[in-house]
Amino acid sequence: MGRPVGRLRDVAGAVLLGGSSTRMGHDKAHLAIGGVAAATRIACVLAELFEDVLLVGGDPPPGAPGRKVPDPPGPPCPLRGMVAALAAASAERVLIVATDLPLVTPALLLAIVAWPRAQAVAPRPGGVPQPLCALYERAPAERAASARLDSGRLAAKGLLTELEAAYLEDADLAEVDPDGAALVNLNTPEDLARAEALVARAR
């Protein structure tokens, strides 16, 4: 799939910076992979594709392109960042990526954007939906996410069950991410080592 001519205006990109990680022991947004902070890597990919990039919650690392958006009040959780991103974006759709997915690629994100339109579009590798690497129709998703946050239903994956959702399954993902690296999740020091190895191999 080719790159768009110019950056897209009708889709905004958002990086959920998150906070401290007990399993990792460090703020994931600032963890360096291949010498570049995780959040900066994601924000740079988003900035290649979209005119509006949001850096949501936390403190963005130096060099991360985009505009800073604070989290709303509420318990620390990804859903809170999702509400902030959806409320702050001016575009019709918002592609939200968590900071613990530092190897996302333009090919994967463009495939999500180009997928048949639905209220939410997400990868579903191995049958497991990925709500934190997903494209959302801003208005219905903001309503549903805000209601879930207000009622204490904080699981991000639950948001997908309340929206008309479409999924990229394993066969679809293999076409745009044949190495299966784009959705490597950064939760533990072992995950960090794997990400570093993948970046080094790509070089």
Secondary structure (3-state) at 152: coil
The per-residue pLDDT for range 96-148, each reduced to its tens digit, is 999 999 999 999 999 999 999 999 999 999 999 999 999 999 999 999 999 99
Pick from 189, 197, 45: nearest CA to 108: 45
**Token pair of 140 as six digits:** 């219905």
- The pTM score is 0.91
CA atoms of 31 and 58, how far apart (whole Å): 14
What is the distance of C-alpha 32 from the center of its chain? 17
Q: Which domains does the chain have, with CATH numbers?
A: 11-202 (3.90.550.10)
pLDDT tens-digit series, residues 68-105:
999 988 888 999 999 999 999 999 999 999 999 999 99
